[in-house]
Structure 1
Amino acid sequence: MNKKLLIGIGAALVVIAAVVYVFFFMKDLSGRIVIPYISHQKPRIDPHVPSAVPIADKLDEVMFDGLFNISANPSGITYEDGLGELMGIDDEGIVSIRLKPKKRWHSSYKINREDDEYKISEREAVLFTAKDLHFTLRRIQRLGSLSPDYILVSQAVPNLDFSGPDENNEIHFRFRMDREWPEADIKEVLSFKILPAESEMSAPNYLNGTGPYILAGTNEDIITFLKNPAGLAQIGMMQLQPFIDNSTYSTELKNGNINALLSTPFGSLSPLLEDQEDFFYKSNISTTFFAVLFNTQRLNRAQRQELRKLISNKKIVNRFFKIGTEQQRHITDYKGNSDNYEDYLNYSMFPSTSYYVQEKVVMPLRPTGQPDMSILPDTIRIQTCLNYGFREELSELAQIMNDVAVSKGKIKITAVSNEELRKGNYDGILVAVSGYRSNFLFDLYDLFLREPDLAVKNIHLVTDSDGRGNRVINPRSFQADKNFFRLDAIEPSEEQEDIIKLLDYIYGFMSTREVGDKQAYAEFIDQLDQDMALGSWLFSLPSLA
């Protein structure tokens, strides 16, 4: 048999194998969006309270509308009409919004499942009204500073209420006139998601919205959403596909088992994305940063200050993104900047990409000088947990920081279970802090008052009445076994006075309605942390979808 014939037969077999794979094994994802999620982290959806599962907060945008909805373009954040249309603001701070009364709630539709297919049909229309908006504002007010929406709305609209609607279906909010109100700022304040008035005030899940997709059901952990027939979505179905962790996401995307990623591993441009005929990407505002939170029960203040000097976030970022090597992980941001790694370095709990640093409300100090190694313990024992998101990133960070060239042999990071982490047997904990936005919103409760359990998000906030109708923070909010820092405002210690002061500042920052007060509290908190050295704030993760 001649050589040409053998080559021809081989080529034919390759073509046949490819055709067989495409027609019999490769999934047909046309007509649907398929997004991966971590199977043991089922999203529970509450549009007014941050979730422990990052994808749950993304689903808020899919299922619900605000009066205005957030988006992003190369110039930054932008807002689109949702359930309202901005008519303007007058000289007395009266903001007029025309409601869109023809918007239907998802309960206007019935979902039927036949075998593995979902079908949608109409029921009697249930329309959005001002009553739904009243209910939503009451709920946000009841949640108080636990809700980022309360923090944002209350600093603009003191009584969280409105008048109307009038004969033109317009409602009117009275905004504080302590600052100028450009259109974008008004829309940001009114971008909270709206629930139907029949909803419970406190439910484990909120599933009835007016957004572009309707929850159809769950089958074998595949969560399916159907296009809202009255919405503007162009693709008929969205599915969440379960996986054990995020380590295979890029491979699954390449193999056609999923067709969308809400975040890329390491926040970087995968080589896969270089094929722009098959893939496109969009950069967004960073919402996650990595940090080492120090255990104040095991490390004294002097030790924490020297440990902060020891941990070089620049060295870590250079290794993390493999800068200067053939394997360099390239990044890009929504402003069009590329490989701007230093922009993501943090020197405060207020990230460098946040409003507070960019507007110089907070001016973090960078550690200077060499650490005094004699003050530090022989080994700094840091724990991390890889089972609740960012597995690949946290695993690589642990490997980098364990390198003698990075930590001078002082740091030992181990991966442990969530149950072991809760015991607090660590000098520090390596975590990913998610859910902040690079603007006025920043959730210090999530950082300081979250109970040390990565499986759920419980905020240990204890308040009392001051007898004059105001709420004040109770020192019991800081108990050693109720936060990752092991801060305790009850037990006597050399740092008790500063711990109580920190707690007061955090509550002031989160609960105040005054912009100037919030800025002042941010400055006080940062200055106190510069002295107390509560953590090493490492870097923010670029956001690429």
Structure 2
Amino acid sequence: VGIIALLYFFLRKDLSNHIVIPYISHQKPVIDPHLPHNVALSDKLDEVLFEGLFNISATPSGVVYEDGLGEFIDIVGNSTVIIRLNASKKWHSSYSVTADDDEVTVTESQPRTFSDQDLRFTLRRIQQLGSLSPDYILVSQALETWDFEGPDNNNEIKFRFKPDREWKVDEIKDVLSFKILPHDAELAAASYETGTGPYLTVPPASPPNDVPRFYHNPAEAAELKFVDLKPFVDNSTFTTELKNTNINVLLETPFGAVSPILGDAEDYFTKSNIATTFFAVLFNTQRLNREQRTELRKLLDNKVIMDRFYKAGTPQQRNIEDYKGNKNNYSDYLNYSVFPSSSYYVEEEIVLPMREKGTPDLSVLPDSIRIVATMNFQHREEYGEMLEILNDRSLFNGKVRAAAVSNDEIKRGNYDAILVAIDGYKSTFLFNLYDIFLREPDFETYKINLVTETNAKGERVAAPASFNGRNFCRIDASLVGDDRENFLKFLEHMHGFMYSNYIGDKQAYAGFLEETEQQLALGAYLFSLPSLAYFSTQFDAQSIQLYGVASQLSTIEKWRERRD
């Protein structure tokens, strides 16, 4: 035993001063701060390289908006927002970075600092990306124009926010938290690596070795020097790699569950945050009529599915733990509405979902219901398990035929219903419904099909063309049918909900949406996925904060090692 202990001590890898995060080798992260990517780690790495005028950061009790490239000065009236630009911030291109294994040399070259030109370039890029970018959806609903006045002699600029809302400071900072690129960047580069954030990109020592690495920015106060990404064949080995000290951070576990091989509290600690992913089966409205959709919703019992998903009550049970310390509280993750149970609208009882759905009338359903999913992007293991459950003839009276299909098949709409994981939802009142009902059914490209027009009162409203058939539910407002009027009402309520910033209006629209969705039966909302991350006890647990809508890496520059 003594020899084994000595061997373990000498052979374990020294990861001191390194944050080492795994990724799947054939799914290398692509970093673009304005476009979502189908590799989840890509979007998380935005926090390593880039800053916004304000940065969303996690705390033990919520999120805060910290000054980044800007400082909030004042709001004049209800719409003129004054921001002071931080002209002392240096772009990463102010430094020359060379590397030889762990020897990284950073030398200062020609200083390049942040300016209004960079902000204008970034706004122009987001505007041109349009609904491909989530930032576009947020900014376009807030700003009068895609520009600002100034800067003046104090480096202060003025944004004109839309005056039909009562803007709070945190709401303004949220709108202005989009990441900023230098003005000489390409508008449509394959990826981006120059920012002002806490870490610099390290060039590969040799061209074939293009594994992403980052080194602390001399101008920032990052506690640890290195952020390294490490490739592996697939994610099934990630927990073993953590156990073998090849990595020291695991940002997500399969099924959001506790790992049975990482139970040693002396070697690992966990951090949970509020769920940001939920599973839903969305119905193809061009293949299933409203009566069939209503009965299919009853047939897909979310508790039965979740119990099987986590193997509850069996020796193979997948255990879970939430950020409050509750264990195996599976029922807390069940959803009964398009608004997840963890969302503000359900927790505050703005929306009261119907929990009892009744017994399905199988006679109105087709003999076979084709439910599809694609396993070529995120959540491969979870999708595989869900498809196996849906294919269990003993659970759904043999009505369901579930299959893994290509992304092209989904784009063509060749399904009765589609199983989707909705990622990145917020539990705050800013819940994003466009991701569910207006997203192009294409997992390779993120695009929201929102079209607006001006009505007779001069108000911007959602145009019927927003429902063009290119969405997961295949809703097409150009088709004549019994549901068309309710589809347009649902679209009106959805746009009102997304556009309004008055909390009372948002609450009212949430109620309208819930009522209309219950009538239309657009989907079965199953359950949210717990969020659990593992860390080596090399780190000081108190220095790592995770919370809800903030990125898991929002405080990465503050992570530090234990000093005992």
Q: d(CA) in 1 for partners of 2:115 and 2:484? A: 50
- Asked if 1:527 is matched to 2:537, the reply is no
Shift of 1:338: 4.1
- Asked if 1:109 is matched to 2:109, the reply is no
Which range moved further: 487-496 or 250-259?
487-496
- Aligned equivalent of 2:400: 411
- Aligned equivalent of 1:33: 19
- Alignment: residue pair count: 529
2:475 alignment partner, SS class: coil
Equivalent residue letter for 2:381: E
1:414 alignment partner, SS class: strand
- Aligned equivalent of 2:218: 229
Work out the percentage of aligned pairs sharing the same amino acid: 57
Equivalent residue letter for 1:207: E
- Aligned equivalent of 1:68: 54
- Aligned equivalent of 1:5: none
- Aligned equivalent of 1:290: 279
Q: d(CA) in 2 for partners of 1:385 and 1:505? A: 30
Q: Deviations over 1:333-359 (max 9, x none)?
A: 334444433332222222222233334
- Aligned equivalent of 2:433: 444
Q: Using a 3 Å threshold, how does the CA distance of structure 1 residues 387 and 203 change in structure 2: closer, same or farther?
A: same
Shift of 1:308: 0.5
Which range moved further: 69-78 or 413-422?
413-422
For 1:242, which of 209, 223, 231 is the aligned residue?
231
Q: Using a 3 Å threshold, how does the CA distance of structure 1 residues 145 and 507 change in structure 2: closer, same or farther?
A: farther
Give the TM-score, by structure 2 length: 0.81
The answer (yes or no) to whether the contact 1:383–1:426 under 8 Å persists in 2 is: yes
- Aligned equivalent of 1:490: 478
Shift of 1:410: 2.7
Equivalent residue letter for 2:514: D
Shift of 1:389: 1.4
- Aligned equivalent of 1:4: none
Q: d(CA) in 1 for partners of 2:229 and 2:243? A: 17
Equivalent residue letter for 1:499: F
- Aligned equivalent of 2:305: 316
Q: Counterparts of 1:209-288 in structure 2 under 5 Å?
A: 209-217=195-203, 219-220=208-209, 222-288=211-277
Equivalent residue letter for 2:246: N
Q: Counterparts of 1:41-440 in structure 2 under 5 Å?
A: 41-86=27-72, 97-114=83-100, 119-141=105-127, 147-153=133-139, 158-159=144-145, 165=151, 168-171=154-157, 178-179=165-166, 181=168, 184-217=170-203, 219-220=208-209, 222-440=211-429
Shift of 1:168: 4.8
Which range moved further: 491-500 or 291-300?
491-500
- Aligned equivalent of 2:560: none
Shift of 1:282: 1.9
Q: d(CA) in 2 for partners of 1:527 and 1:45? A: 40
Equivalent residue letter for 1:353: S
The answer (yes or no) to whether the contact 2:141–2:499 under 8 Å persists in 1 is: no
1:274 alignment partner, SS class: coil
The answer (yes or no) to whether the contact 2:167–2:501 under 8 Å persists in 1 is: no
- Aligned equivalent of 2:544: none
Q: Deviations over 1:76-114 (max 9, x none)?
A: 223333223445667867655444322111111223355
The answer (yes or no) to whether the contact 2:411–2:441 under 8 Å persists in 1 is: yes
Q: Deviations over 1:190-230 (max 9, x none)?
A: 32222223334454433321111223346556222222222
- Aligned equivalent of 2:547: none
The answer (yes or no) to whether the contact 2:22–2:238 under 8 Å persists in 1 is: yes
Equivalent residue letter for 1:532: L
Equivalent residue letter for 1:534: L
Q: Using a 3 Å threshold, how does the CA distance of structure 1 residues 45 and 361 change in structure 2: closer, same or farther?
A: farther
Equivalent residue letter for 2:225: G
Shift of 1:160: 5.9
The answer (yes or no) to whether the contact 2:280–2:525 under 8 Å persists in 1 is: yes
Q: d(CA) in 2 for partners of 1:197 and 1:164? A: 17
The answer (yes or no) to whether the contact 2:239–2:262 under 8 Å persists in 1 is: no
Q: Note the residue ranges of structure 2 that are not aligned, 5 or more in a row.
A: 534-564
Q: d(CA) in 1 for partners of 2:298 and 2:451? A: 34
- Aligned equivalent of 1:6: none
Give the TM-score, by structure 1 length: 0.84
Q: d(CA) in 2 for partners of 1:296 and 1:62? A: 42
Q: d(CA) in 1 for partners of 2:130 and 2:443? A: 23
Q: Using a 3 Å threshold, how does the CA distance of structure 1 residues 221 and 508 change in structure 2: closer, same or farther?
A: farther
1:314 alignment partner, SS class: helix
The answer (yes or no) to whether the contact 1:285–1:437 under 8 Å persists in 2 is: no
- Aligned equivalent of 1:536: 524
Equivalent residue letter for 1:74: P
Q: d(CA) in 2 for partners of 1:460 and 1:91? A: 33
Shift of 1:127: 0.9
Q: d(CA) in 2 for partners of 1:71 and 1:331? A: 25
Shift of 1:428: 1.6
Q: Using a 3 Å threshold, how does the CA distance of structure 1 residues 472 and 243 change in structure 2: closer, same or farther?
A: farther
Equivalent residue letter for 2:515: Q
The answer (yes or no) to whether the contact 1:151–1:513 under 8 Å persists in 2 is: no
Q: d(CA) in 2 for partners of 1:539 and 1:374? A: 27
Shift of 1:278: 1.8
Q: Using a 3 Å threshold, how does the CA distance of structure 1 residues 386 and 68 change in structure 2: closer, same or farther?
A: same
The answer (yes or no) to whether the contact 1:436–1:442 under 8 Å persists in 2 is: yes
Equivalent residue letter for 1:293: L
Q: d(CA) in 2 for partners of 1:18 and 1:205? A: 40
Larger relative CO (CA 8 A, sep 6+): 1 or 2? Answer: 2
The answer (yes or no) to whether the contact 2:131–2:448 under 8 Å persists in 1 is: no
Equivalent residue letter for 2:243: K
Shift of 1:543: 1.7
Q: Note the residue ranges of structure 1 that are not aligned, 5 or more in a row.
A: 1-10
Q: d(CA) in 2 for partners of 1:473 and 1:442? A: 18
Shift of 1:383: 1.7
The answer (yes or no) to whether the contact 1:332–1:338 under 8 Å persists in 2 is: yes
